[in-house]
A and B are shown apart, each in its own frame.
Chain A
Amino acid sequence: MNKIEVAFRKLEENYAEFVIEGITPAIANAIRRTAISDVPTLAIDEVAIVENSTVFFDEIIAHRLGLIPLKVDTETYDVLLECYEEGKRDDCVAMLTLEVEAEKPGTAYSGHLKFAGFIGEFARLASAEVKPVSDLVPIVKLAAGQKLVLEAYAKVGVGREHAKWQPVSIAAYKYYPEIRIIKRECGEEGKKCADACPKGILKWSNGRLDLIPEKVEECTMCRACEEACPEVIKVSWDDSKFIFRVEGLGVIPVAKVIETALKRLIKRADSFVETLEKSIQTRS
């Protein structure tokens, strides 16, 4: 088996860029898909409307509430994850309340949601507050005298079930580009070639065509340079090396998303082996 190497280019709270070497496209895609659709997060799933005299139907408001990303700290997240994996998602429900009455025309924002505690068996383990990633998401606009009172229940779920549970907006990869300059001293044609690149990866000076090494990873493999001068340059890629980009929604740090995705993937593979062994045993 090949040695796997990972190098981070960027790692921020909500954005990560890294290169993985030594895996197949199938595994790269499995990581991507797991990060999007199989990392559990918290989102509003049930809403009890007490009073709604706004211009929106109850279900529109419930839908908008569901889409608001909710932030949890890492310790609480671990508790929620355990609770989800044990199939007890109804035992770790976060309750939020909202009460807005407009004396003059105004807006009900996500910031008006108040955390009212956890409900269920796992509640004692989770102490931290759950609140929206942003306080400025408009839920509905109200005219003078209109009122919105509701209770919302946030549950743990995965993106596969509904996109509101997705922890990331972007999780994507591309092959690592391999650019080969066949003819370096190529005169005027080299200038045409360098100018064709939309990302400015190529440099042409004194009749000599060169790569700008720190920009190579920006190559999108559009092959505009190849088209401009086919004799001079060849663009291909390494299908065992990938550049990943992951952009989080602020629900949990992206590093945590990647870590959880890998753990969930390994668990799935393990349970597959287990099932396979069982079925072989029962046959013989």
Chain B
Amino acid sequence: MIIPVRCFTCGALIGDKWQKFSDRVKRGEDPSKVLDELNIKRYCCRRMMLSHVELIDEVLKYETYG
């Protein structure tokens, strides 16, 4: 739904790095290089980013507040 705050396995903070990661990958950069530059070293934290699907944007479309 939304990026988890911490890595499921080691507990490192990863939530704050999602936006940067997503933006740069969408621009066509190599995900592995972006992860290195964001200093996400372990494969437990790297899969948090690589396997994440930001579904919350789809859900927001159907909200009728305001």
A binds B: yes
Write the residues of chain A forming the contact surface with B, with a CB cutoff of 8 angstroms.
53, 55, 64, 67-69, 105, 110, 133-138, 140-146, 163, 166, 168-170, 247, 249-250
Contacts of A170 in B (CB 8 A): 10, 12, 42
Residue of B nearest to A170 (CB): B10
The CA-CA distance from A138 to B7 in the complex, in Å, is 14
Complex contact A55–B56 (CB within 8 A): yes
Specify the main secondary structure of chain A where it touches its partner. Answer: loop
Chain B proximity of A89: nearest CB distance (Å): 21
Contact of A144 among B4, B11, B56, B66 (CB under 8 A): B66
Grouping DSSP codes into helix (H, G, I), strand (E, B) and loop, the B interface class, with mixed when no group exceeds half, is loop
8 extra A-B contacts, CB within 8 A, seeds A136-B19, A145-B65, A249-B12: A105-B60, A133-B13, A138-B15, A138-B18, A169-B11, A170-B10, A170-B42, A249-B11
Contact status of A137 and B10, CB under 8 A, knowing A55-B56, A55-B60:
no
- List residues of chain A with CB within 8 A of the CB of B10: 169-170
Those of B22-55 within 8 Å (CB) of chain A: 42
Count of interface residues, chain B, beta-carbon cutoff 8 Å: 24
Q: Tell me the nearest residue of chain A to B11, going by C-beta.
A: A169
Candidates B16, B63, B65; contact of A136 at CB < 8 Å: B16
Distance of A67 Cα from B63 Cα, bound (Å)? 26
Query: Which chain B residues border A53 with CB–CB below 8 Å?
Result: 65
Is B66 touching A145 in the complex (CB atoms < 8 A)?
yes
Query: Given A55-B60, A67-B5, are A137 and B16 also a contact pair (CB < 8 Å)?
Result: yes
Contacts of B66 in A (CB 8 A): 143-146
With beta carbons under 8 angstroms apart, the residue of B11, B13, B63 that contacts A250 is: B13
Give the total number of A-B pairs whose CB atoms are below 8 A apart: 68
Assembly CA distance A53 to B66 (angstroms): 10
Q: A63: shortest Cβ distance to chain B, in Å?
A: 9
Chain A residues with CB under 8 Å of B2's CB are 138, 140-141
Give A138 to B42 CA distance when docked, in angstroms: 22
Q: Which of B4, B13, B16, B56 is within 8 Å of A141, CB to CB?
A: B56
**Contact present for B7 and A143 (CB under 8 Å):** no
Q: Considering the chains assembled together, what is the distance between the CA atoms of A141 and B54 in angstroms?
A: 11
The complex places the Cα of A67 from the Cα of B15 at a distance, in Å, of: 10
CB <8 Å contact, B65 and A138: no
Contacts known (A134-B16, A141-B57); A146 close to B11, Cβ less than 8 A: no
B13 close to A134 (CB less than 8 A): yes
B39 CB, nearest partner CB in chain A, Å: 10
Closest Cβ neighbor of B3 among chain A residues: A138
Contact pick for B12, options A64, A135, A142, A247, CB 8 Å: A247
B13 CB contact (under 8 Å) in A55, A143, A163, A249 = A249
Q: With A134-B16, A247-B12 in contact, is A146–B5 under 8 Å at CB?
A: no
**In the complex, the 3 A-B pairs of residues with the closest C-beta atoms, listed nearest first:** A145-B66, A169-B12, A136-B16
Tell whether, in the assembled complex, residue A64 and residue B5 are in contact, meaning their CB atoms are under 8 Å apart: yes
CB within 8 A of A143: which of B3, B6, B65?
Answer: B65
Q: A137 contacts B15, CB within 8 Å?
A: yes
Whole-angstrom distance between the alpha carbons of A276 and B17 in the complex? 50
Contact of B5 among A68, A143, A145, A247 (CB under 8 A): A68
